[in-house]
Amino acid sequence: MESRLHIACLQTRPMPSMEAAIDEAVPMAEAAAQSGAEMLFLPEYCGGLLSDGPRLCPPSAPEESHQVLAALREVAARRNVWMNIGSVAVNGPGDRICNRGYMIDPDGEILGRYDKIHLFDVNLADGAVYRESDTVYPGDIAVVYETPLVTLGHTICYDLRFAALFRDLAQEGAEVIACPAAFTKTTGEAHWHVLNQARAIENTCFIVSACAVGPVSGGGASFGHSLVVSPWGDVLSDGGDLPGVVHAQLDLGLVVDTALRIPSLEHDRKYRVKRNRQTREVA
């Protein structure tokens, strides 16, 4: 049975301040809603992003006084749309922040929150080093939002490399899994498309990944190419390398149809790993 959902990804640039982030995101959100989108998706750190060497230091504030969160909630209420705020930086324990995403209902109310679980601590071949854990406090709860339109799982950026998280969300009934990101240009060119397609195929669900695009103040750049991928692995929309709004129509019936053809979610089995070892002789 066909059940269509009109969505839009807002492919925003990483902005150096909350004020600039609002100026970037709000007009896109207004335009997307005016074009008929029922649910909007924003990137990771859509409330602003800065770097200082290996450290990510986005502008942050307490949740109750966060300017970007408040501005986006106002848009959701004014335009009567659902909104997946990929993430903003919220003050956390000690001197660290939480990389926190939100699901906003058409009244502008917060349905739920997700704190990024897997933090981006990597050493890339081009010499770039990232230590998200220097400034970010990790989450430890996977999140599914049940809405009247769709059941949605929420992940963030580096989470994309952890297949077990996506599997758990799909097993909990997620028809769509959002993976908002500020994926680096280097890793994006190598892995972005194939990872998004793999997560969709192996979990027979839609993957919606709004990704920031362009340079980050302080160093680095985000890849863009916001993606909407079908349960069969087809790329339905690709945002390319410029800021803008990316629309897609999701036929949610494909989630059921694909699962009937390849019911892999029903075939998970518990197993143990047996290690067989032979000691090598050193000459």
For 134-155, write each residue's pLDDT tens digit: 999 999 999 999 999 999 999 9
What percentage of the chain reaches a pLDDT higher than 70? 99
Predicted confidence band at 199 (pLDDT cuts at 50, 70, 90)?
Answer: very high
Task: Give residue 215's pLDDT.
Answer: 97
pLDDT in tens, 24-52: 999 999 999 999 999 999 999 999 999 99
As a whole number, mean pLDDT of residues 173-187 equals 97
As a whole number, mean pLDDT of residues 162-188 equals 97
Give the angle subtended at the CA of 197 by the CAs of 14 and 116, to the nearest 5°: 45
Give the angle subtended at the CA of 13 by the CAs of 9 and 14, to the nearest 5°: 120
Helix 67-79 × helix 18-34 angle, to 10°: 10
CATH classification code of 4-265: 3.60.110.10
pLDDT in tens, 70-86: 999 999 999 999 999 99
Is the pLDDT at 127 greater than 80? The verdict is no
Q: pTM score, two decimals?
A: 0.96
Question: Which are the contacts of 69, defined by CB distance < 8 A and separation ≥ 6?
Answer: 47, 63, 85, 88, 102
pLDDT in tens, 251-279: 999 999 999 999 999 999 999 999 999 98
Do the Cβ atoms of 72 and 109 come closer than 8 Å?
Answer: no
Task: Give residue 62's pLDDT.
Answer: 98
Predicted confidence band at 128 (pLDDT cuts at 50, 70, 90)?
Answer: confident
Task: Give residue 32's pLDDT.
Answer: 98
Which tokens is 201 given? 């195929």
Mean of the per-residue pLDDT values of the chain: 96
- Residue 237 to residue 257: CA distance in whole angstroms: 21
Is the pLDDT at 1 greater than 60? The verdict is no
Task: Give residue 282's pLDDT.
Answer: 75
Predicted confidence band at 2 (pLDDT cuts at 50, 70, 90)?
Answer: low
Is the pLDDT at 190 greater than 90? The verdict is yes
As a whole number, mean pLDDT of residues 79-95 equals 97
- Residues classed as catalytic: 44, 116, 157
3-class SS of residue 238 = strand
Do the Cβ atoms of 142 and 117 come closer than 8 Å?
Answer: yes
Cβ atoms within 10 Å, residue 64: 8
Is the pLDDT at 283 greater than 70? The verdict is no
Map out the domains of the chain as residue ranges: 4-265
Predicted confidence band at 53 (pLDDT cuts at 50, 70, 90)?
Answer: confident
Task: Give residue 72's pLDDT.
Answer: 98
